[in-house]
């Protein structure tokens, strides 16, 4: 009983007043708490830049220096140097015909610059061989596009250079892509190589162009799951010229997809499913559109790089 009373007294000390008065600290109430709100003054004179600077200096306020920097990425080049110009009718002639065979052999022997580039690449990269590289490169291509469909950023960055990445990814963030690589119709071949050096002389990058003839399916769905382009069940034969790049001087460099070359004679792409308005000519009040006989301008057939 006695112990319980002691314990309860310990809990109840602040409320129960005992005869023993301990010296308490004196609390003198001063009205220091802000109890009103004054809105900020509106008619403040706007200080000019020089006045603001003098005031800041007088107060001892230091504004940190602003660094206007622009980051440069040195792990890949900004474009395709000395691009390969695919010959006309490349896909039309089959390899088995005599003409096709002649064309093939000519192409590969022709360019001395390519042979030089191969030798330079072999100097830096011991495992490079013209026979084995195409299979590797095709696997990189398939993996990169698979990562694009899943949108696996880290894997995509390791398989694709920084120059190619925005081109692949732009506009696709809120879309669903379905891509399938069905089979390869012809074995991929190396057709072109160059070894440019950037900024300083020894900084070598190797760019190798690969010719890939394959069958693929592509379907792009927009944000709401509606089909925008392509068909998932319809495979198409695709002839592509892929450019892979590697930073040769870097021991951790890897062969990554750098871009695609679209030849000037390539057939036009399919239009998207929806109808689009093309801005037409501005009419004067007295003119009528039907009388103008306006021809929609067709783009020039120029080789361009994707």
Partner 1 sequence: MAASVVTWAGLAAFGRACGSIRSRLLGSSSTLSQVSCLHTSTELNSKHWERKNLVVYPPQQKDELRRPAEIYHCRRQIKYSKDKMWYLAKLIRGMTIDQALTQLEFNDKKGAKIIKEVILEAQDMAVRNHNVEYKSNLYIAESFSGKGKYLKRIRYHGRGMFGIMDKVHCHYFVKLVEGVPPKVEQKTGFDQAKEYVEQLRNRTIIHSL
Using CB under 8 A, list all residues that contact partner 1.
4, 7-8, 11-12, 37-39, 42, 174-176, 178, 219, 221-228, 274-275
Residue nearer to partner 1 on the CB measure, 12 or 59:
12
Residue nearer to partner 1 on the CB measure, 42 or 63:
42
Burial 74-109 (b: 16+ CB within 10 A, else e): ebbbeebeebbebeeebbebeeeeeeeeeebeebee
Residue nearer to partner 1 on the CB measure, 122 or 180:
180
Residue nearer to partner 1 on the CB measure, 11 or 252:
11
Q: Which letter does DSSP use for residue 81 in this model?
A: S
Question: For the CA atoms of the chain, what is the radius of gyration?
Answer: 35
Write down the least CB distance from residue 20 to partner 1, Å: 20
Give the span between the Cα atoms of 114 and 137, in whole angstroms.
17
Write down the least CB distance from residue 40 to partner 1, Å: 8
The answer for residues whose C-beta is within 8 angstroms of residue 294's C-beta and 6 or more apart is: 280, 281
Residue nearer to partner 1 on the CB measure, 99 or 231:
231
Contact 255, 215 (CB under 8 A): no
Give the span between the Cα atoms of 206 and 117, in whole angstroms.
8
Give the span between the Cα atoms of 247 and 306, in whole angstroms.
20
176: closest CA among 207, 221, 144?
221
Residue nearer to partner 1 on the CB measure, 223 or 236:
223
Contact 145, 178 (CB under 8 A): no
């Amino acid at each position: 009983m006695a112990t319980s009373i002691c314990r309860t007294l310990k809990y109840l000390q602040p409320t129960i007043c005992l005869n023993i008065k301990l010296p308490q600290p004196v609390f003198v109430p001063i009205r220091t708490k802000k109890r009103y709100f004054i809105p900020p003054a509106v008619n403040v004179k706007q200080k000019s830049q020089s006045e603001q600077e003098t005031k800041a200096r007088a107060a001892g306020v230091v504004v940190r220096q602003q660094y206007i920097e622009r980051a440069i990425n040195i792990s890949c080049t900004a474009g395709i140097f000395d691009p390969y110009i695919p010959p006309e009718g490349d896909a039309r002639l089959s390899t088995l015909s005599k003409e096709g065979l002649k064309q093939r052999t000519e192409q590969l022997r022709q360019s001395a610059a390519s042979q030089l580039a191969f030798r330079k690449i072999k100097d830096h990269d011991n495992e490079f061989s013209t026979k084995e590289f195409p299979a590797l490169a095709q696997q990189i291509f398939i993996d990169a596009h698979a990562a694009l469909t899943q949108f696996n950023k880290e894997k995509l960055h390791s398989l694709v250079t920084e120059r190619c990445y925005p081109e692949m990814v732009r506009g696709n963030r809120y879309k669903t892509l379905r891509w399938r690589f069905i089979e390869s119709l012809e074995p991929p071949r190396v057709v072109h190589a160059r070894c440019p050096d950037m900024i300083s002389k020894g900084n070598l990058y190797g760019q190798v162009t690969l010719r890939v003839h394959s069958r693929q399916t592509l379907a792009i769905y927009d944000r709401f799951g509606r089909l925008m382009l392509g068909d998932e069940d319809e495979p198409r034969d695709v002839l592509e010229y892929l450019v892979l790049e590697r930073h040769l001087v870097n021991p951790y460099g890897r062969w990554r997809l750098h871009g695609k070359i679209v030849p000037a004679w390539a057939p036009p792409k399919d239009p998207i499913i929806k109808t689009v308005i093309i801005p037409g000519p501005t009419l004067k009040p007295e003119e009528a559109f039907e009388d103008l006989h306006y021809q929609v301008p067709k783009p020039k057939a120029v080789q361009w790089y994707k």
